[in-house]
Amino acid sequence: MDITNITQNLIKGLEQKNTEQLVTLSRLLNVALGKMVMASVTEIEPVTPQERDVLLAQTFKALLQINKLANNTAALSPALKIEITRLLDQQTLIKSPELKWVNLLVNGKSLLTYTDKPLAAGQTIPVQLVSPQKLVLLDLQQINNITDTQKSPAVTFNLETFLSKTETSSQQIKQVVADNLRQLLPYKDKPTVLFSALNQWQNIPKANQQQLISPTLSQALRSVAEQIRSPLQLGQPKILEQIIKNSGVFFENKLTAHSTAINQTISPTILNRTYTQDLKGSLLTLLSKVNQELTGNNKPLTTEQTVKLLQQVSSYIPIAGAATATGDTPKNSLPVNSLTGDIGLLIQQLMTKPVNELSDKELRTQLLVLLQQHSLHSLAKIQLQQLTSLNHELDTKDSKQPNTSWQIDIPVKYHNEVQQLHLQINREWVDDKNSSSENKTATKVKQWSVTLRFDLPTLGEFCAQLTIIDTSVSAILWATQETTFTHIKQHVENLRKNLEGEGIQVTQIQCIKGMPPQKSMALSYSLIDIST
């Protein structure tokens, strides 16, 4: 018997089998080798002792076969070495007490696998096809490998956390959106004081800052402070475009785009830049660093812990020594409303204290707790804007020409204060007024409307709304303060001439004293939980 021929045939067959499995699994899941995708956990069941024994027996049998082959082979091929490593890892995993069956939904395809990772039904997790038989469940350490002095990444927290359900009917998605809107709507009109506090923080001497917080937290604070814009930046179209993209509302889209573009896990450099240049990414990083210093745990917050904190931010704020990273409500807590403005007052006090007093543990903990809560408050507002956009889209989801809407807040430094500039962009399909009467109901054109609101100490409340169809524009300007209203009226014709000079057809420019009424959110379902 020619042992050599048998060995070579077996190796060739194994390599061909791996290739076939890779093609099959890749086609089944529509996932390329090395690409990271998001999967939903639909069901979890414990592995019984009998099932564990069967898995171990299968793995041992495969290892025994390769071991016999190795005894008749001078050198193992790369394919056999990879297979041995995979089987040994699989054997260790099967012996884990935490082993469980997991049903995953990957790109619309159901897949049964097993893991020892702590997962829950409804959770959204990143997975990666790394070999023909190995679909790896990635953790935050693998995804967010941002390099810093502590080697600790920021947490990923996005809308998929809210929308990951076993069933994804339109009505169920609407209910999930309604549940989370119900939690976040109280923050709609609350002022965000974090940016004003960070503006004050910059005035504290560097030596004093170093006594209060670590270098990594200091960098996280700088990243958030860099998201505060100047009026000069807002006046430059290209910079304004980047400001809108980095407002936090499109954060998850950018992460997904980077992952898809390079067809693999996002590189640390790109991921770090995405976080630091985006408002939501910077806030998530700040929140993670604050919690690490509060708890002494260098591990970043998980998505579940961040969700719990965000859900509870309206009801409590932990006092010194009572902060938790799990989101559990501490016994010693105070209503968040009672401390809403205290972070600015605390920073003012820190500016006057001697350096040797700034290392006081209670003082530092108080600062960290307030940073934690106001970071969560700012994140809640961004999350509310994202959910509002999703709600708007769901209303016309089944239409051939769905409408879209985005709400964006931009922190702007005005003199020595930080004010919020509110921007709303809508895209709707409306009847074409230029079409003939018989086709008027059938012809639709794309209409963009942009609404800009702010309330500045010297100018008062101001609102501008532009409606754009192709190259034609109409504008309505509102102002509550008499001097501002008069100033606008005096410059309306200059605005018209400038627009027409750019080749824009101005159909109307109107000035109105006062402010437009706030539009209520259109919902086809109730925001009030009547189940109890």
170-179, 201-210, 257-266, 479-488 — which is least confidently predicted?
257-266
Among the listed residues 409, 412, 426, the one whose alpha carbon sits nearest the alpha carbon of residue 522: 426
Give the per-residue pLDDT at 54.
Answer: 79
Domains and CATH numbers, the chain: 3-138 (no CATH), 159-391 (no CATH), 415-432+441-513 (3.30.750)
And the tokens for 113? 């696998």
Taking CA atoms, 227 is separated from 283, 360, 411, in Å, by 10, 30, 7
Give the per-residue pLDDT at 280.
Answer: 93
Residue 333: which pLDDT band, with cuts at 50, 70 and 90?
A: very low
**Backbone dihedral region of 500: left (phi > 0), alpha (psi from -120 to 50 degrees) or beta?**
alpha
The model carries a pTM of 0.64
What one-letter code names the amino acid at 454?
A: F
Tell me the average pLDDT across 192-199.
Answer: 89
Tell me the average pLDDT across 304-320.
Answer: 56
Say if residue 154 is exposed, middle or buried (CB neighbours under 10 Å; 0-12, 13-18, 19+). buried
Give the per-residue pLDDT at 261.
Answer: 54
Taking CA atoms, 446 is separated from 24, 244, 252, 431, 452, in Å, by 43, 21, 26, 9, 20
Say whether pLDDT at 155 is over 50: no
**Residues 82-115: pLDDT tens digits?**
778 878 888 888 888 888 888 888 777 777 778 8
In 47-166, the DSSP E strands lie at 100-106, 109-115, 124-131, 134-137
**Positive or negative CA dihedral for 390, 391, 397, 400?**
negative
Give the per-residue pLDDT at 521.
Answer: 54
CA distance 166 to 175: 14
**Residues 357-414: pLDDT tens digits?**
877 788 888 899 899 889 988 998 998 898 888 887 777 776 777 788 899 999 999 8
**H or E element in which residue 452 lies:** strand 444-456
Residue 325: which pLDDT band, with cuts at 50, 70 and 90?
A: very low
Give the per-residue pLDDT at 254.
Answer: 83
**Residues 412-445: pLDDT tens digits?**
998 888 999 999 999 988 887 766 555 555 678 8
Are 106 and 125 spatial neighbours (Cβ–Cβ below 8 Å)? no
And the tokens for 331? 């016994």
Please list the residues that pair with 474 across neighbouring strands.
467, 508
